[in-house]
Chains A and B, each alone.
Chain A
């Protein structure tokens, strides 16, 4: 087989008038961890569903593991594993029964299946819970079983759609480590969708930033961050104990300022351009009688990249921190974005 795991060409998916996926084209190489990063409603899940043959594209085509998703759906399904946003588990069945059911659906020979289930359960340290009903598990435990369920058929390509959504920090890091080790050990190609920037940054070899059904940028995390630096933009974080809304709007009105984000009661983060940016911001704060406890340049995060490219934040949780709120799914629009 060639070394392209997934190839999408001009994928379009419309629901009535709503265009969920808008001419998406990309390639995923074998063995890569490829990230889809974007806010809710950006079209990540819809794209995944098309690639998993759960939904047919309105236009365009895609091949997964060398098979066309529309014409050779059955072949595609043999080579993929899916961990979707919603757990694919039956609560009244035990972990082992769940795994057995899905193993049988993949027509795995019985003795091979039995062994594989034991191995996988060991891998996620769930062997002692194997014969308990899933419904009695914590979300983290469920997700571990859910992930190994997707690995039963030893897929070449594993789709992880928001695998850590709603998990506690410990389970989150376990799942991330696990995804990393699957990729390292068996060279499984992983397609990861997430709106957690850290997750994408940690795991992905390449990331496509997707917004309103379109790919806004596609590159390695470090290259993406360079976009900001290359654009002569610096990110400055200030600790100002007596910050006021007037002060914030004053900083916004500076010619060098692109966006201002209020991080918490005392911290603000400013995207600014030009050599004089730092000095200008300090002057502005001082003239507004603000005390600066600390100021430093920060390494841009993917969050900053996303903000820079799309003009809005990724996670709706950030809505608490900025002054204006927008409906769910589009992310809050940050005040005064000057381009």
Chain B
């Protein structure tokens, strides 16, 4: 038996598997719905930008008014004026610091602003005045966002007040006053023009992940299931090389996975406004390479387990942490040190990172050559170990 017939046999087995998949209506529907759900969920659940809008905030003005010149009231007016422009908060006035706390504890408000009782007197006597931001510790993400935005806002208000004061007191022109008070201006820019949203960050990751999941759950099904129902024996008792059987299965599952990957790509572009900066061919090539890098793992597990159930369970146990550790949803740089170390041993990490740079930054092959080499390495090592294990498992 030559290589020609080995390839032909593999293609026939793949044809059989794909025919089987295409005739399973329910399975086919899931094949298309799964990526849709995945993108929709992830895209809407995670914050799509770093701004906030209509966050309910409690406001307590404890400033002991001195006559009718309450600077606290002026502060509140300034805050409200600013807020009317941005609409980032829903302000509601409460009576005391305790009210602010209890409102947050009851879940009525997500944050609070307390203006200190010596606000006016401190300012009048040449001291700094206190403004306290109260955050909801039960929701760390919101609280850090609120903290950042409010600190910025109040800082801005301070700058405005100081600039105005300088202008009033020393008659310096307003623009000069501003340069005196806030001498530095910070601008943030990316390497490609335009704004990127969270979808752009997450879409390449989900693509890699879905291709991986498809392969990792599809393979044990394709092989262990056939072993269980006995049809694998039919192929094994025919003059067909083991590698052809495996090859056929891998071709079929890869096709299925790639199809899902392409669906995600299309959804990202059409529904979620992701623009692919790099070449689409490179994206697809990278997806294929991702498949190559982990297919060995799938075969290995399938070889070591005798039933579909156990194989699927092990696959799930492995793929789930892999999904999170490889930076599909959260940047690896945000993880603790030991997780970052683990992430370095996952092929998906490199796949996601390379895909992301192609999709978002539009880089070419040159810029991701290291990732490509590493992915090839993973694939070659895993696959050669897996093929040995598979050969042995088939002889049980």
Q: Which residues of A contact B (CB under 8 A)?
A: 49, 52-56, 74, 77-78, 80, 82, 84-90, 92-93, 97, 101-102, 104-107, 133, 149, 153
Contact = CB atoms under 8 A, between A and B. Distances in A.
A37 B231 CA distance: 24
Nearest to B396: A55
Most chain-A Cβ atoms within 10 A of its Cβ — which of B231, B234, B236, B395? B234
A107 B240 CA distance: 9
Interface string B210-252: 0000000000000000000111011111111000000000000
Interface of B: 1, 5, 8-9, 12-13, 15-16, 19-20, 23-24, 229-231, 233-240, 395-396
Contact of A82 (B1, B24, B237): B237
A234 to B, nearest CB: 43
A107 B4 CA distance: 11
A90 B238 contact: no
A105 B19 contact: no
A105 B230 contact: no
B24 to A, nearest CB: 7
A121 to B, nearest CB: 18
Given A82-B234, A88-B231, A93-B19, A104 B9 contact: yes
Contact of B229 (A74, A80, A86): A86
A99 B395 CA distance: 25
B235 A93 contact: no
A54 B237 contact: yes
Contact of B237 (A53, A86, A87, A89): A53
Most chain-B Cβ atoms within 10 A of its Cβ — which of A49, A80, A102? A102
A92 B9 contact: no
Nearest to A135: B23
Contacts of B236: 53-54
B306 to A, nearest CB: 12
Nearest to B238: A105
A21 B387 CA distance: 29
A54 B396 CA distance: 8
A105 B233 contact: no
B231 A105 contact: no
Contacts, number: 75
Contact of A54 (B23, B231, B233): B233
A80 B1 contact: no
Contacts of B19: 92-93, 97
Contact of A86 (B24, B230, B239, B240): B230
A87 B230 contact: yes
A30 to B, nearest CB: 20
Most chain-B Cβ atoms within 10 A of its Cβ — which of A52, A74, A97, A105? A105
A52 B5 CA distance: 21
A92 B1 CA distance: 29
A86 B233 contact: yes
Contact of A106 (B13, B24, B238, B396): B238
Contact of B9 (A74, A77, A86, A105): A105
B233 A82 contact: yes
Contacts of A90: 16, 20, 231
**Smallest CB-CB A-B distances: 5 pairs:** A86-B230, A88-B234, A105-B238, A92-B23, A77-B239
Given A54-B237, A86-B231, A106-B239, 15 more contacts: A53-B236, A55-B396, A82-B234, A86-B229, A88-B233, A90-B16, A92-B19, A92-B24, A93-B16, A93-B19, A105-B9, A105-B12, A105-B240, A107-B1, A149-B234
Contact of B20 (A54, A78, A93): A93
A306 B233 CA distance: 30
B25 to A, nearest CB: 10
A89 B226 CA distance: 10
Contacts of B229: 86
A243 to B, nearest CB: 44
A133 B23 contact: yes
A300 to B, nearest CB: 35
A153 B234 CA distance: 13
B395 A80 contact: no
A77 B230 contact: no
Given A102-B234, A105-B9, A74 B20 contact: no
Contacts of A54: 233, 236-237
A44 to B, nearest CB: 15
B17 to A, nearest CB: 9
17 contacts: A53-B236, A54-B237, A77-B239, A77-B240, A82-B234, A84-B230, A88-B231, A90-B20, A92-B20, A92-B23, A93-B20, A101-B12, A101-B15, A102-B238, A104-B8, A104-B12, A105-B9
